[in-house]
Amino acid sequence: MTKNILLLAGDGIGPEVVAEAVRVLKWVGAHAGTSFHFDEALIGGSAYDAVGTPFPAETLSKAKAADAILLGAVGGPKWESLDYSVRPERGLLGIRKELDLFANLRPAMCFAPLADASSLKPEIISGLDIMIVRELTGDIYFGQPRGVTMENSHRVGRNTMVYADWEVQRIARIALDLARVRGKKLCSVDKANVLEATEMWREEVQKIRDAEYTDIELSHMYVDNAAMQLVRAPKQFDVMVTGNIFGDILSDCAAMLTGSLGMLPSASLGSETGGKRAALYEPVHGSAPDITGRGIANPVATILSAAMMLRYSFNLHAQAKLVEDAINAVLADGLRTGDIMQAGARHVGTKEMGDAILAKLDTLSSTQRGAA
């Protein structure tokens, strides 16, 4: 059966890293007997330049029709002076909202060959495998009222943290389901000591766990402590669940544990309707304007995002694992893009890294066939 994949390459290094992930997906398609059909659409600053909006209607209709979406990145200095309503980031927030992509899965894994690259000691980071589940469609990014107004001759900036109980319950279920197939431990992160909205969050997560997931060990942690614990002893965590803004910050903190933003994938999932779940896969990093067009961006985060697509949208678990193994093997061979460069390693560019991963896929799959 044909799987329709929509490519939203976006801005900056987006097109460079998406191109490498597409090569990997094509390899998997050819070897798994699955036919992937690729379509493309505009998003972000490049969409604004072409049609005057960061999230064109055509992009939305293609996104709704697709089985899965692979996005590069949006944004850059060129569009920073635009009104907020047409900034590239509005494209990203728009697609999340329109497809109701409420669950953002951000794994932070430490590939063994990179344990030395972390700013933390290898014994603290080695073997790290945590999953941060970030609520993505609510919270202060969407709450009303918002904006800057004049009040008593002063400019006043305002954003509002809002969560409804059902929003907390559905993200809690996603996180508890993940915990069930992983280490059976969930830590819910909030700021219940000062923010009523997150006090409600805490109560609702606890309610769902007590009613439906008594096999899962649930703990609660304030966000400031969670940030500290992530750096002090990250391996204490298995699955973490939190709101949109706390998740934004904590997942970038987790990113640095593993060495580089260039290594971190993500998945954003919606509700399941008619047997189909809306799903967008993208690297955690942004458009990296400082290195755009130089062929030096690390494509691994995007390739790992494609592996998540294989796993969560297409149930191709063995193929997802093969892609991850190929990346691990390439790193073990000492190949590094600039962001993860280490003494004695071989410095490669974006395409060379893609080439090496494809070659490793060939080797690993023929080894597997030989063993079978």
Residues of this chain that interact with ligand NAD (CB under 6 A) are 13, 17, 73-76, 89, 92, 261-262, 282, 285-291, 297-298, 301, 337, 339
Minimum CB distance to ligand NAD, residue 297 (Å): 4
Whose Cβ is closer to ligand NAD: residue 192's or residue 291's? 291
104 within 8 A of 145, measured Cβ to Cβ: no
Unique residue bearing structure tokens 């998740």: 247
Nearer to ligand NAD (CB atom), residue 187 or residue 284: 284
What is the per-residue burial (b if ≥16 Cβ within 10 Å, else e) of 257-287?
bbbbbbbbbbbbbbeeeeeebbbbbbbbbbb
Helices marked H in the chain: 14-32, 45-51, 57-65, 88-98, 122-125, 165-181, 196-212, 223-232, 244-257, 300-312, 317-332, 350-371
Residue 273 β-bridge partners: 276
Smaller CB separation from ligand NAD, 13 or 307: 13
Shortest gap between Cβ of 204 and ligand NAD (angstroms)? 28
| Alpha-carbon distances, residue 372 vs 30, 320, 365, 367, 368 (angstroms) | 19, 19, 11, 9, 6
Active-site positions?
141, 191, 224, 248, 252
Closest CA to 254 of 320, 196, 187: 187
Taking the complex as a whole, how short is the minimal distance between the CB of residue 331 and ligand NAD, in angstroms?
Answer: 14
Residue whose CB is less far from ligand NAD, 9 or 322: 9
| Closest distance of CB 264 from ligand NAD, Å | 9
CB 187 within 8 A of CB 220: yes
198 or 268: CB nearest ligand NAD: 268
DSSP state of 162: -
Q: Which two tokens stand for residue 135?
A: 């609520």
Nearer to ligand NAD, 119 or 153 (CB): 119
Q: Pull the structure tokens for residue 272.
A: 């399941």
**Cα–Cα separations (whole angstroms), residue 278 to 39, 273, 296, 355:** 16, 9, 31, 30
3-state secondary structure of 35: strand
Minimum Å gap between C-beta 154 and ligand NAD is: 28
Beta-carbon contacts of residue 34 (< 8 Å; ≥ 6 apart): 1, 3, 28, 314, 316
